[in-house]
Amino acid sequence: MPGTLYVVATPIGNLHDLSPRAASVLRTVYVVASEDTRRTGTLLAHVGAQPRQLSFHAHSGPKRRATLLEILADGRDVALVTDAGTPAVSDPGSDLVEAARAAGSPVVAVPGPSAVATALSASGLPADRYLFLGFVPRKGAERARLLARAVEEEWTVVLFEAPGRVGALLRDVAALAPGRQVVVARELTKLHEEFRTGTAEELGEYYSITEPKGEITVLLAGTGVPPEPPDRSEEAKALARTLLAEGVTRREATRRLVADLGLARNEAYRLVMDL
């Protein structure tokens, strides 16, 4: 029988947040695949675990993944951990999980701390539905696209950001959505845990002159209303013209507009008949 890959959530700050089940797994597995072996070593010592450690992080190549798969194939269990929180959630690990499952190894999640859930629970913002967008790109079109999506979202949005860039992030949010309510959660579960609330302008100004330290989670209040659907009329007209020029019937062209672009059938029919 192949070994089991355990995906183990670890504390995001306070070591006492490690669950008894997670501690038991770390004590019994053959190998712990660690994002940072020194940081994980502190956690292992805290629970009296002495497994073999192998580094496995965002820059680990296929060779290291193959080594872990060989260990599983030999029938020995592996625990996947990251520096803090749940593996594969804005952290390395999804490729190993996918490969292990494809190779026939059982994959077992050992849940626990999550910066996303922790920040949401104490933010005061609605959390029945939310959008998690992970780390914000530093610059360029991808950053602009992500922030444009974030400020249009009707539900609470959760972002991760590096301490030195929080001020810039909030100023960008303020430019796109003046007056938007924001919560900045810092050093969650640690000695200097802090929640700071205000508008994007207020907090952007504060963090421009007061650079925060530690791990940062930023929450944006949602708009409360669904975003306007994109206008796809020009795209639909272009596709309809192409289809008709190829000899496709009007009925089939209508069906394709509905299937490919998500147009309502009556809207698609009217557009095709108008051409």
d(CA 70, CA 95): 15
Residue 226, pLDDT score: 85
At the top level of CATH, the class of 116-220 is alpha beta
pLDDT digit string, tens, across residues 108-133: 999 999 999 999 999 999 999 999 99
CB 74 within 8 Å of CB 1: no
CB neighbours of 204 closer than 8 A, spacing ≥ 6? 167, 169, 170, 171, 173, 174
Strand partners, 194: 186
pLDDT band (50, 70, 90) for residue 275: confident
CA atoms within 13 A on the CB side of 26: 27
CA distances 84 to 43, 56, 159, 230, Å, are 10, 14, 16, 38
Find, among 259, 261, 217, the residue nearest to 116 by Cα. Answer: 217
Residue 234, pLDDT score: 83
Fold of 5-113: Cobalt-precorrin-4 Transmethylase; domain 1 (3.40.1010)
CB 100 within 8 Å of CB 33: no
Rounded to two decimals, the pTM is 0.80
CA atoms within 13 A on the CB side of 116: 20
CA distances 57 to 61, 64, 71, 110, Å, are 9, 10, 17, 19
Residue 227, pLDDT score: 76
pLDDT digit string, tens, across residues 85-106: 999 888 889 999 999 999 999 9
d(CA 270, CA 140): 39
CB 112 within 8 Å of CB 10: yes
Which token pair is 15? 């070591």
Average the pLDDT over each of 62-66, 131-135, 237-241 and give the range with the smallest value: 237-241
Residue 151, pLDDT score: 95
Q: Does pLDDT of 235 surpass 90? A: no
